[in-house]
């Protein structure tokens, strides 16, 4: 036994010295920063799994630039401080030059400041707030990209749907002002909704720590709006819509991509609608192939194929986009890769992606309806 160990040690040492074993240094490292714990863990799990599927497929075909792809996964918790720590760790200790993440705008924005300053290419799959890719002075952050549409468009799609499809003349807006995504999307919705002739009859704020929404829901009940716009994440949506139903509020709730989760409480949110990036019902060939590959790799508690959501689809697209750009650049120098990414045309699961000057893709949105049994595809809205 000891002899065997010694022998294998000698063999490995010899291989390493001769350069026949790929060492860490030869691999291309990608960091995945996602909220695996904290308020929205389904976002993190789906993002990680979508990204890992893409990497597995590339590695099965030999990697990129004839090098294997290695990953570093960090839990950035959808929260600025852990996100900053994770970004510093992967850049300074793990020496990554590429980051896929974060999910939440309020985590992606601080990460982008670090990545851009250190010339590390960051692509957020899902962060929709404009400030992720554009600095306060209006300049595009050179090294920062995203794979999703942005909230001025998402808010406009929601407003148009409220006005034209739901025939809603009045809206009540509920928001968490400390969440960049929620605050931004609420503003963009309001702008488009009032410009389109709708009237905002009330606006109330809460915090992410609140669990009892009785006070603000009483105001909603009194205002009798046609729709309630609630552009927050599923954890908050579950609480608010449940308490609204208990209060007898019948107005339709409308939200954004943050509603997308296998943990969305369908009973509570039934009758609501939300804008999103993807639907597993999509019949586009890229989407059909992705649904199949994802379900083959990942199973739920009952051993059934897992159904990917928008987080998984966009993480898959963002990772594929990044690897295609590295390949196109013929180099893993982020300065060359970002130049390649700016020019790329990429057919993803979530649609065709080309970047505008602010490093944002111009893409269509999907409208989904929540019933007490499932989330149904409603329609696609083009930019
Ligand atoms: N768009 C959200 C944000 O910027 C994140 C998100 C995207 C959540 C897609 C769910 C689905 O914070």
The answer on pLDDT for 137 being more than 60 is: yes
- The DSSP bridge partners found for residue 365 are 381
HEC secondary structure over 183-223: HHHHHHHHHHHHHCCCEEEEEEEECCCCCCCHHHHHHHHHH
- What is the predicted pLDDT for the residue at 6? 52
pLDDT one-digit tens code per residue, 283-293: 999 999 999 99
**CA 258 to centroid of ligand 1, rounded, Å:** 5
List all residues 6 or more positions away from 43 whose beta carbon is below 8 Å from its beta carbon.
Answer: 34, 35, 78, 103, 104, 126, 233, 261, 311
Strands in 170-176's sheet, in edge-to-edge order, are: 199-206, 170-176, 227-229, 252-255, 273-276, 365-370, 375-381
pLDDT one-digit tens code per residue, 3-55: 555 555 555 555 444 444 444 569 999 999 999 999 999 999 999 999 999 99
Mutation pick for ligand 1 pocket among 125, 181, 233, 262 (CB with most ligand atoms within 8 Å):
181
Q: From CA 18, how far away is CA 20, in angstroms rounded?
A: 6
Across 84-100, average pLDDT: 98
HEC secondary structure over 79-129: CHHHHHHHHHHHHHHCCCCEEEECCCHHHHHHHHHHHHHCCCEEEECCCCC
- What is the predicted pLDDT for the residue at 8? 55
The answer on pLDDT for 2 being more than 60 is: no
Task: Report the CATH superfamily, name and number, of domain 2-149+285-363.
Answer: Response regulator (3.40.50.2300)
Tokens describing residue 141: 């952050």
- What is the predicted pLDDT for the residue at 383? 87
Tokens describing residue 7: 């022998």
Q: Ligand 1 pocket, 181 CB below 6 A?
A: yes
Mutation pick for ligand 1 pocket among 83, 112, 126 (CB with most ligand atoms within 8 Å):
126
With cut-offs at 50, 70 and 90, classify the pLDDT of residue 257: very high
Q: From CA 236, how far away is CA 239, in angstroms rounded?
A: 5
Mutation pick for ligand 1 pocket among 42, 101, 104, 122 (CB with most ligand atoms within 8 Å):
104
- Half-sphere exposure of residue 319: CA atoms within 13 angstroms, side-chain side: 32
- CA-based angle 232:235:237, to the nearest 5? 50
- Strand, coil or helix: what is 145? strand
- Strand, coil or helix: what is 156? helix
Please determine whether the domains at 2-149+285-363 and 152-276 fall in the same fold group of CATH: yes
Q: Ligand 1 pocket, 128 CB below 6 A?
A: yes
pLDDT one-digit tens code per residue, 182-193: 999 999 999 999
CB-CB contact of 76 with 48 (8 Å): no
Q: Which residue ranges make up each domain of the chain?
A: 2-149+285-363, 152-276
Burial class (CB in 10 A: 0-12, 13-18, 19+), 382: exposed
Tokens describing residue 107: 């985590």
Q: Ligand 1 pocket, 103 CB below 6 A?
A: yes
CATH code at 152-276: 3.40.50.2300
CB-CB contact of 228 with 211 (8 Å): no
Taking the whole predicted model, whether its pTM rises above 0.85 is answered as: yes
**CA 286 to centroid of ligand 1, rounded, Å:** 22
Q: Which atom of ligand 1 is nearest to the CA of 314?
A: 9
With cut-offs at 50, 70 and 90, classify the pLDDT of residue 118: very high
Indicate the helix (H) or strand (E) that contains 308.
Answer: none
- What is the predicted pLDDT for the residue at 16? 46
Across 374-378, average pLDDT: 95
């Amino acid at each position: 036994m000891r002899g065997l160990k010694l022998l294998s040690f000698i063999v490995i040492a010899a291989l390493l010295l001769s350069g026949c074993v790929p060492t860490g240094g030869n691999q291309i490292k990608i960091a995945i920063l996602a909220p695996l714990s904290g308020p929205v863990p389904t976002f993190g799990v789906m993002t990680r799994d979508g990204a890992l599927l893409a990497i597995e497929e590339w590695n099965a075909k030999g990697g990129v630039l004839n090098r294997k792809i290695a990953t570093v996964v960090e839990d950035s918790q959808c929260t600025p401080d852990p996100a900053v720590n994770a970004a510093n760790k992967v850049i300074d200790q793990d020496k990554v030059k590429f980051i896929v993440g974060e999910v939440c705008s309020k985590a992606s924005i601080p990460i982008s400041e670090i990545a851009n300053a250190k010339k590390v290419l960051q692509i957020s799959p899902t962060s929709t707030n404009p400030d992720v890719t554009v600095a306060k002075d209006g300049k595009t952050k050179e090294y920062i990209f995203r794979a999703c549409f942005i909230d001025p468009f998402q808010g406009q799609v929601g407003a148009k749907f409220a006005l034209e499809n739901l025939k809603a003349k009045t809206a009540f807006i509920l928001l968490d002002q400390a969440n960049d995504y929620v605050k931004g999307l609420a503003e963009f919705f309001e702008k488009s909704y009032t410009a389109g002739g709708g009237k905002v009859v009330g606006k109330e704020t809460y915090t992410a720590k609140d669990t009892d929404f009785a006070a603000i829901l009483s105001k909603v009940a009194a205002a009798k709006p046609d729709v309630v716009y609630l552009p927050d994440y599923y954890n908050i949506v579950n609480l608010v819509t449940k308490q609204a139903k208990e209060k007898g509020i019948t107005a339709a709730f409308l939200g954004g991509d943050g509603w997308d989760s296998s943990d969305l409480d369908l009973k509570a949110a039934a009758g609501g609608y939300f804008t999103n990036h993807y639907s597993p019902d999509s019949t586009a060939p890229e989407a059909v192939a992705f649904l199949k590959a994802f379900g083959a790799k990942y199973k739920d508690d009952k051993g059934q194929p897992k159904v990917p959501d928008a987080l998984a689809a966009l993480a898959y697209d963002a990772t594929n986009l990044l690897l295609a750009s590295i390949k196109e650049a013929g180099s893993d120098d982020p300065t060359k890769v970002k130049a390649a990414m700016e020019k790329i045309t990429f057919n993803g699961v979530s649609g065709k992606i080309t970047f505008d000057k602010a490093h944002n893709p111009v893409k269509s949105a999907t409208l989904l309806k929540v019933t007490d049994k499932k989330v149904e595809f409603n329609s696609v809205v083009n930019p």
